[in-house]
Amino acid sequence: MNRIPEPELMDDPQHVAAYAGAWLDNGYWLFIQNFRKFFRKFVPKDAILDLGCGPATIPLRLAGLFPQCEIHGVDGAPHMLEFGRNAVRREGLEDRVRLFHGILPDNFSLPRERYEAVISHSFLHHLADPMVLWYAVNKYSLPHAAVLVIDLLRPASEESAENIIDTYVPGAPALLRQDMLLSLRAAYTLDEIAAQLQQAKLTGKLTLTMASPFQFAVHGYLDQGA
C-alpha cells in the first residue's frame, strides 16, 4: 500500500482524549518491556529525552522505573502537552518529568544539549520527512546514549490494516479506530526505515528489528556499533 501522510501535530482535544485513553496501553507496556530487555544493565543517572512525547505516558512510566533520573519530553502540540502536564501533576512528578514545547526539526531550548538516552514511540509515522527523527537522535544523544524507537509499520494492504485494528484494539471507539487506520497508512515500511538509518549513518550502530507483528524497534547503544 502506498504511504498516505497524516498531519504531523495531534492538537485536537477530542483526538488527544481518545489517544490518551486506556486503549493503547498494550503499546506502552511493549515499549517499557523492550526498553528493559534491550538495556538490562543501563541505569540512567541524569536525564532521558522522549521525542514526540504526546500525553507523557512513557515518561511517567520511565520515571517510575528510574527514580534517580529526570525524563524530558518534547512535543509540538499545545493540547497534547497540556494533557501530559496534567497527568504529570496528578502523579506529583513535576520535579522529574518535564515537558517542553518544540516542533522538530526547529531549534528549541531543552535543559540538556545531549542525553544519556533518547527514545521515541509512535512518532516517526507522523513525520513528512522521516529523517527529522533520525537527525534528532544524532543531535540529542551523548556518544554512549541508549536509543529506542518503536513505531507502526505500514501494512501491505487496507485489509491487513483493518485486521491489525480488529486484533489489537477490538471494541475501540470509532474515532480511535479511524486514527489508527490513518496512522497505519502513514507508517513507513521496514525497507524504508533501513534506508533512513543508512542515510543518517546509524546503520551498524543501531539494530532494526520487529517489536510486534505490526511494529518495528530500532535500538542500541550508539557507541557499540560497527
Ligand X SMILES: C[S@@+](CC[C@H](N)C(=O)[O-])C[C@H]1O[C@@H](n2cnc3c(N)ncnc32)[C@H](O)[C@@H]1O
Q: From 62-70, 118-126, 152-160, 199-207, give the range in contact with ligand X by CB under 6 A.
A: 118-126
Is residue 151 a contact partner of residue 133, using CB atoms and an 8 Å limit? no
Stretch that binds ligand X, among 35-43, 71-79, 87-95, 160-168 (CB under 6 A): 71-79
- C-beta of residue 105 within 8 angstroms of C-beta of residue 8: no
- Cα distances from 86 to residues 15, 20, 80, 94, 97, in angstroms, run 16, 12, 10, 10, 11
Pairing between β-strand 141-152 and β-strand 215-221 as defined by DSSP bridges: antiparallel
Q: Site residues for ligand X, window 10-29 (CB under 6 A)?
A: 10
Based on the shown chain and the rule CB under 6 A, indicate whether residue 122 belongs to the binding site for ligand X.
Answer: yes
Beta strand pairing call for 115-121 and 215-221: unpaired
Q: For ligand X, which residue of 34, 49, 57, 184 counts as binding (CB under 6 A)?
A: 57
Asked if 215 interacts with ligand X (CB under 6 A), we say: no
DSSP-derived letter for residue 23 is G
Stretch that binds ligand X, among 51-59, 152-160, 196-204, 205-213 (CB under 6 A): 51-59
Q: Applying CB under 6 A, which of residues 123, 140, 188, 216 lies at the interface with ligand X?
A: 123
Select from 47, 53, 97, 148 the one that contacts ligand X (CB under 6 A). 53
Is residue 71 close enough to count as binding ligand X by CB under 6 A?
Answer: no
**DSSP per-residue letters across 112-152:** -SSEEEEEEES-GGG-SSTHHHHHHHHHHEEEEEEEEEEEE
Using rule CB under 6 A, residue 9 touches ligand X:
yes
Q: Residue 130, preceding bond cis, omega within 30 degrees?
A: no
Q: Which stretch binds ligand X (CB under 6 A): 8-16, 41-49, 194-202, 218-226?
A: 8-16
Q: Could you tell me which stretch among 7-15, 110-118, 138-146, 154-162 binds ligand X (CB under 6 A)?
A: 7-15
Going from the C-alpha of 170 to that of each of 38, 158, 164, the distances in angstroms are 29, 17, 9
**Residue of 44, 54, 155, 220 interacting with ligand X (CB under 6 A):** 54
By CB under 6 A, name the one of 55, 130, 155, 220 that touches ligand X.
55
Q: Which residues bind ligand X (CB under 6 A)?
A: 8-10, 52-55, 57-58, 75-77, 80, 103-104, 121-123, 126-127
